[in-house]
């Protein structure tokens, strides 16, 4: 939640900066255009927006005023971002207390014990012959020094062994039947969220409303996403996971149809804000339910399940951003709807198998 609210603040700052600098001078090919707010609106060619956005270099150059923000606004944004990063570093160095070494060592031991109990980490120490030195000599050594020596000996060869073991167990988890059924869901979450941050701001918000409205559209999405994420956990505790998931999938279908069929005009530009509200609702439900589903399906090895989920989620991110400027928006929407159909089918099968398993107990 805190992360989402911080995103909302950053989007609000972006909107204020871009809106304040919406009057600009833009260079198109070899000519220079002096453009103010009303001229920008009249200069837009909405026929190349939305699902018709194919990032053709010639069309993009002719309609560059719809995508390029003022240089002054860019410099202000760069300065604001650099100031925020610098402030974060100063706050961390000056006000965040450094952890105590003793507490770190105790936490490390407790973590090893917990991981061993959960079955994630099983480090077998080699049995050492008891020393023939008298107990008085051993008692002179500091217990912390003995523990540090043991940790050093373990880390010399234990880290590689642990990495290999973790990798093998993660790959095994990736090919478990239940995890395979959840794979399209994880991939879909990454593809859709990257579509929200790449295609919607460019092909819909910037192209139809103007680049100065991108921050406001993302602010609407972030606020809706935060509120839905906050309340959906309490709602799903009463209704279960299936109803919220079904609602999110229905919203995704409606959004996909709007992305494909809506023909933007100057009198219907408000639909862009509706699109961001819809994707905010769906994303708030989807991400919360995805995390909840993995926690319920894999109570004995949640760590590995979340690692596999992150892998497919980030792969979806990479795919969407990889073809962002290579194919038309229409093709991307078709791919997402097809992946949504596969996701719904796999989730349905997984829920049936999960219900049968619960009935046995």
Average pLDDT in the chain: 77
| Partners of 32 in the β-ladder | 27
User: Is 141's pLDDT higher than 50?
Assistant: no
The pLDDT of residue 100 is above 70: no
Q: Which two tokens stand for residue 230?
A: 């906050």
pLDDT per residue as tens digits for the range 152-208: 544 545 677 777 787 888 888 888 888 899 999 999 999 999 999 989 998 999 888
Pair 53, 203: CB distance under 8 Å: yes
| Furthest CA-CA distance within the chain | 92
User: At residue 343, does pLDDT exceed 80?
Assistant: yes
The secondary structure of residue 119, as a DSSP letter, is: T
| pLDDT tens sequence across 217-273 | 988 998 899 889 888 888 888 888 889 999 999 999 999 999 999 988 888 899 999
- State the pLDDT confidence band at 8, using cuts at 50, 70 and 90: confident
Identify the pLDDT of residue 25. 40
The count of other CB atoms within 10 Å of the CB of residue 53 is 21
Chain centre distance of CA 67: 24
Confidence at 27, pLDDT banded by 50, 70, 90: very low
Q: Model pTM?
A: 0.73
Enumerate residues 6+ apart whose C-beta is below 8 A from 10. none
Residue 29 zone, left/alpha/beta (φ > 0; ψ -120 to 50; rest)? left
Lowest mean pLDDT among 40-49, 74-83, 294-303: 40-49
């Amino acid at each position: 939640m805190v992360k989402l609210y911080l995103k909302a603040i950053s989007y609000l700052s972006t909107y204020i900066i871009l809106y304040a600098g919406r009057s600009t001078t833009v260079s198109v090919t070899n000519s220079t255009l002096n453009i103010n707010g009303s001229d920008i609106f009249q200069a837009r060619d909405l026929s190349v927006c939305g699902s018709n956005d194919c990032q053709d270099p010639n069309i993009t150059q002719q309609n560059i005023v719809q995508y390029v923000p003022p240089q002054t606004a860019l410099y202000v944004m760069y300065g604001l971002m650099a100031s925020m990063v610098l402030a974060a570093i100063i706050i961390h160095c000056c006000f965040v207390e450094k952890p105590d070494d003793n507490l770190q060592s105790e936490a490390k031991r407790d973590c090893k014990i917990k991981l061993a109990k959960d079955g994630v980490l099983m480090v077998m120490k080699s049995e050492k012959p008891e020393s023939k030195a008298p107990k008085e000599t051993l008692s002179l050594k500091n217990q912390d020094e003995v523990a540090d020596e043991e940790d050093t000996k373990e880390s010399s060869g234990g880290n590689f062994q642990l990495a290999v073991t973790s990798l093998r167990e993660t790959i095994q988890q990736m090919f478990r039947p239940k995890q395979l059924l959840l794979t399209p869901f994880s991939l879909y979450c990454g593809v859709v969220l990257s579509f929200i941050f790449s295609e919607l701001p460019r092909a819909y918000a910037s192209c139809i409303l103007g680049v100065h409205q991108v921050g406001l559209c993302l602010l609407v999405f972030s606020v809706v996403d935060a509120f839905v994420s906050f309340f959906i956990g309490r709602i799903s505790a009463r209704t279960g996971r299936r109803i919220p998931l079904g609602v999110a999938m229905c919203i995704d279908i409606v959004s996909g149809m709007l992305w494909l069929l809506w023909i933007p005009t100057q009198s219907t530009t408000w639909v862009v804000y509706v699109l961001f509200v819809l994707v905010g609702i769906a994303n708030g439900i989807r991400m919360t339910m995805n995390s909840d589903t993995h926690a319920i399906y894999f109570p004995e090895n949640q760590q590995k399940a979340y690692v596999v989920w992150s892998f497919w989620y980030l792969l979806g991110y990479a795919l969407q951003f990889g073809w962002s400027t290579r194919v038309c928006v229409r093709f991307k929407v078709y791919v997402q709807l097809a992946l949504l159909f596969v996701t719904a089918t796999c989730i349905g099968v997984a829920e049936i198998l999960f219900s049968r398993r619960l009935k046995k107990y």
